[in-house]
Structure 1
Amino acid sequence: MAEPQLEEGAGPGPLDLRVATGPGQVQAAARVLGVAPGALATALPDPALRLLVDDLGAVALLRREWGADGHAEAVLVRRRGAWIDQPAVLAAASSWGCERVRDGRGDDVRPVPPPPDGTPQADRFLHSAALAATRVEVAVALARDAGQDTTKADGSPSLGADEAAHLAAAHALRPLGVTVLSEERSDRPVPDDQPWVVLDPLDGTGNFRAGLAPWAFSAALVQDGRPVAGLVADLSSGRRWSGAVGAGARRDGVPVQPRDAGTVVAPTAPSGSAVVVPASARRVRVTGCTAVDVCLVADGAAGAWQNLDRSGTHVHDVAGGLALLAAAGGVALGPDGAPLRLRPDTETLIRFVATGTEERARALLRELG
C-alpha cells in the first residue's frame, strides 16, 4: 500500500501530530520527506530535535536554536503537510521554553502564545517553568567562572552562577502570581490554603563547577503539601522532564512511567561515609544531581532512590522530581511509611524512598530500616 501523502498546501486545520518514538516512525517519515532515515534518526535521542508525525503522512522536524537576539526559537527544519502554527508544533516549542517558531524555509515566524485565561494553574506553571529553565540555561552559561565561590552552611558550594540562575528563574515565574521559594533566598510565609512554587535554579552546583554532568534546573508547583506539577531540565544535556498529576509525565515529549529496574540512584555520601546499597539492587548510580536522580525513577531508567541512610535532603532539591514521579504514577514514602508531604521550608531536611509502586517502596523501607 502506498504511503499516505499530504499536499504541501494542505489546509491548516489541527493535525494529530505526536513525537516519534521508534525507528519505524522515523523510516515512514523519511519516505514522506524523500530523505534517508539517517537524516532523521538522531531526532530520537537528541533533546534538541523533535520529530512529529501523524497517521496521515504529516511530518514536522523541529530544532531548538537561539536567534540573533538571544531568544530561544524552535525552527521547523523539514516539514510535509505541517505548519508552524500547528498546536503540536507550538506545544513542542513551549516545552522547550522557546518564545517563537520559525519556518526554516523562509521568514515566517510565529510567537509562542502564553496560556489563555482560564488555563489550569498546573499548565500555566509548566509554561512558565519551561521559559525559566531556558533563561537559566543561558544565565549560567554566561556566569560560568564569574563571581566568587563561597561555601554554604551545609558545606555545599555557592557560585556566581547560582545567583544568576535564581534571578533568571524568578523573573520568568513571576507572572504565576504565587509565592516562589528558592534555594538562593530566605523562605517567605505561605498560607496553608495557597499553592506555592519551590525551585532549585541550579541543582548539582558542584558538578557544574567541575564540568561533570549532570546539573539541572528544577521547579515544582505544590498544593496542600503535594507536588502537583514539575519540570526538571538537565542543563548539561538538554533533556527535559515535565508533567502534572492527572496528565502524566514526559521526557523530551515522550510519555514515561516507572518500572522495576535493577538500578538504584542515591545522593552523594557525606565525606568519609559509604553509600548504602539495598541488597535487591543490581547496581547503584551516584550522579551528584538529586533532581535528575528522582526523574530517573519517574521515567523508569532507575528503579528507586533513597536517602534514609543520611540526615536528609532539602525540599528544593527533590520537589521537581517528586512532582514528576507522582505524575508518572510513582510513590514516595517517608521513614514512617506515610506518603511524603512537602512543607514550604527550604531549611528542613526530609528523608524518603521513591519507587514506582507502594509495594516496592514498603519493601525498601523494611530492607533499609
Structure 2
Amino acid sequence: MALEKEIALAGRLADAAGQTIKPLFRGDWASERKDDASPVTEADRAAESAMRAIIEAEFPGDGIIGEEYGTHNEGAGRQWVLDPIDGTISFMAGRPIFGTLIALLQDGWPVMGVIDQPIAGERWIGSIGEGTTFNGKPASTRRCRQLSDATIASSGPQYFTDDQGGAFMSLAAQTSQIVVWGGDCYNYGLLASGHLDIVCEAGLKLYDYAALVPIVEGSGGMIADWQGNPLDAESANSTGGTVIALGEPARLEDVLEAMG
C-alpha cells in the first residue's frame, strides 16, 4: 500500500501541532478537567484544531477521530486518528516525554502512524509494509533471548484495575525487574529504537494506540492485546484497551504465560 502522500501529510500535521505546543511548553497555559477527570490544556486543543484544519482541507472525504473534538465523517473508510498530546500530565509537569500521535486507519485497521516529540525533535514514522524510521533513519527493536533479560515500561500503576495490576506485577517479576514508569507513547518509540523490550498497559483508547501499531511492527516488534490478538479500531471496547508491545516477538508466549 503506497502511502507517500499520506505520510507527507502526517509530517506536516506533526509540524503544525508542534508549532502550537512548543511556545506553551513550560509556559503559561490554561487547563481544565474533562468529564472523565483527565486534564486537558489549551495546547491539546490548539494542536488538534491545527491538524484537523489541514486534513479537512486536503482530504475532505476522510474521517477524523480526535481525542479533543470527536469524530468527523464517521462512515468514511479512511479515518485519521489524532491525539494532540499523548501524555498531557507530562506536558503539564514540564517533562518532554509526551508526544503527538497521528494514525491513519483503513477499514478499521491502522496502516500508518507517527509519534512526534516536538521539544526533543524526535519523530518515528511507520506504515504498513515499510520499515519504521526515526528522524529519517531505519529504526529497529533489539533482540531479547529470554524474559529474564527484558526491561519493561508502563505509563503508571494507576491505570490498571486490581486484576490488571496483578498481571502486570507477575510479568514484571519474571523480567529483569528494571521497570520504567511514565512515558506514554514515548515508551513505544524507545521500544521501536531498541531501548526497551516490553511495554504493557491497559485502559488505552483508539487514539492512544492506533499510531503505535505500524511503528512497532515496522521496527521488527509486535503489538497486541493481552490475549495476543492484533489491535484494530474495536480493541479498546472489546479488551478494555489492554496493550502489550514486544521488541522481540518470540517472547509473546512467555509474556502471556507470565501474566497468567
What TM-score, normalized to structure 1?
Answer: 0.60
Higher relative contact order (CA 8 A, sep 6+): 2
Indicate if the aligned counterparts of 1:278 and 1:364 stay in contact, CA closer than 8 A.
no
Corresponding position: 1:297 with 2:191: yes
Distance in 2, matches of 1:271 and 1:345, equals: 14
Q: CA RMSD in A?
A: 2.8
- Which residue number in structure 2 is paired with residue 201 of structure 1? 84
Give the counterpart letter for 1:351 in structure 2. T
Match of 1:279 among 169, 174, 177: 174
C-alpha distance after superposition, 1:262-302 (max 9, x if no partner): 321212221898773241234121233x2211222222211
Indicate if the aligned counterparts of 2:152 and 2:175 stay in contact, CA closer than 8 A.
no
Give the counterpart letter for 1:219 in structure 2. I
Give 1:237 deviation, angstroms: 0.7
C-alpha distance after superposition, 1:65-96 (max 9, x if no partner): xxxxxxxxxxxxxxxxxxxxxxxxxxxxxxxx
- Please give the residue correspondences for 1:305-320 in structure 2 after superposition, counting only pairs within 5 Å: 305-307=199-201, 310=202, 312-320=203-211
Distance in 2, matches of 1:319 and 1:278, equals: 28
Distance in 2, matches of 1:246 and 1:235, equals: 26
Give 1:149 deviation, angstroms: 1.5
Match of 2:31 among 149, 152, 163: 149
Cα 1:188–1:138 change in 2 (3 A) is closer
C-alpha distance after superposition, 1:125-151 (max 9, x if no partner): 211111111111111233455553111
Q: Which runs of 5+ in 2 are unaligned?
A: 145-149
- Please give the residue correspondences for 1:138-287 in structure 2 after superposition, counting only pairs within 5 Å: 138-143=19-24, 148-174=30-56, 175-177=58-60, 178-188=62-72, 190-191=74-75, 194-260=77-143, 262-270=150-158, 276=169, 277-287=172-182
Indicate if the aligned counterparts of 2:246 and 2:252 stay in contact, CA closer than 8 A.
yes
Give the counterpart letter for 2:209 in structure 1. V
My pick for the range that moved more, 180-189 or 137-146, is: 137-146
Cα 1:304–1:285 change in 2 (3 A) is same
Q: Which runs of 5+ in 1 are unaligned?
A: 1-118
- Please give the residue correspondences for 1:60-79 in structure 2 after superposition, counting only pairs within 5 Å: none
Distance in 2, matches of 1:143 and 1:172, equals: 21
Give the counterpart letter for 1:269 in structure 2. P
Q: What is the DSSP-based 3-state SS (H/G/I as helix, E as strand, rest coil) of the residue aligned with 1:136?
A: helix
Q: What is the DSSP-based 3-state SS (H/G/I as helix, E as strand, rest coil) of the residue aligned with 2:187?
A: helix
Give the counterpart letter for 1:354 in structure 2. A
My pick for the range that moved more, 163-172 or 134-143, is: 134-143
Percent identity, aligned pairs only, is 25
Give 1:194 deviation, angstroms: 1.0
Distance in 2, matches of 1:223 and 1:281, equals: 38
C-alpha distance after superposition, 1:204-254 (max 9, x if no partner): 111111111212111111123321111111122111101212121011111
Larger radius of gyration: 1
Indicate if the aligned counterparts of 1:334 and 1:340 stay in contact, CA closer than 8 A.
yes
Report the number of matched residues: 245
- Which residue number in structure 2 is paired with residue 38 of structure 1? none
Match of 1:331 among 192, 216, 222: 222
- Please give the residue correspondences for 1:10-159 in structure 2 after superposition, counting only pairs within 5 Å: 120=2, 122-143=3-24, 148-159=30-41
Give 1:162 deviation, angstroms: 1.0
